[in-house]
Amino acid sequence: MLKEINCRGLACPQPVINTKRALEELEQGSLVVLVDNPVARENVTRFAENAGCRVQVEEKNGEFYITVTKGEGTLPQTAPAARNETGPMVYLIASNTFGSGAEDLGETLMVSFFNSLLEKSAPRMLMLVNSGVRLVIQQSRVLEQISKLRERGTEVVACGTCLDYYQLKDQLAVGRVTNMLEILDHLTGDGKVVTLS
């Protein structure tokens, strides 16, 4: 019988944290993580794959059974690189406006920022949190610019908790949903982080 980690009903990023802890205790073998929503399924799957594990997902009655195998026949886990102030650019965008003050001015400045960013080398990643997630929904004034950056290789991720808070998850138009644990990994990773709020 495989060890089962019940993560049903847990808020992001708790399913990933519970999976991480269980894998740390598991020297070799398999365990099953049970989640009840697609975002948790994607987050746990991505985490386990990035940790070098094999992953198999089965859906039963709207719940997801994620079998994670660690050890023989799996890929070695790579250690995160040390923080580098001159590495690839990572933007943490915490607002749908650029700066504070008049909101309409902030929206105009954000459009100008993304138009200017298209003239530079594409950043490694855009991480959108808080009201910044509004920039990657269907009605965004910068959706075209962010889509072009993604086509040029920029990874675009939006905080799932933030999308839920603003009730925008079904309007996500570019990029993918992420969790705070992954955001923290990128904030402390090898990229140069620039924060816009």
Query: Both 119 and 190 in a single domain?
Result: yes
Query: 37-83 pLDDT, tens per residue?
Result: 998 999 999 999 988 999 999 999 999 999 999 986 555 444 444 44
Query: Both 14 and 101 in a single domain?
Result: no
pTM higher than 0.75 for the full model? no
We report the CATH number of the domain holding residue 184 as: 3.40.1260.10
* Catalytic position from the list 7, 12, 53, 162: 12
Tell me the DSSP string of the chain.
--EEEE-TTPPTTHHHHHHHHHHHH-SSEEEEEEESSHHHHHHHHHHHHHTT-EEEEEEETTEEEEEEEESTTSPPPPPPPPP-TTSSEEEEE--SSSSSS-HHHHHHHHHHHHHHHTTSPPPSEEEE-GGGGGGGBTT-TTHHHHHHHHHTT-EEEEEHHHHHHTT-GGGB-SSEEE-HHHHHHHHTSSSEEEEE-
- Per-residue pLDDT, 72: 65
| 180 in Cβ contact with 12 (< 8 Å) | yes
Residue 161 inside a domain? The answer is yes
Query: Both 62 and 104 in a single domain?
Result: no
Residue 55, domain extent: 3-70
Query: Both 186 and 98 in a single domain?
Result: yes
Active site residue 7: no
We report the CATH number of the domain holding residue 41 as: 3.30.110.40
Residue 164 inside a domain? The answer is yes
Query: Both 101 and 189 in a single domain?
Result: yes
Residue 64 inside a domain? The answer is yes
Number of compact structural domains in the chain: 2
Residue 75 inside a domain? The answer is no
pLDDT band, very low/low/confident/very high, at 2 (cuts 50, 70, 90): confident
Query: Both 22 and 118 in a single domain?
Result: no
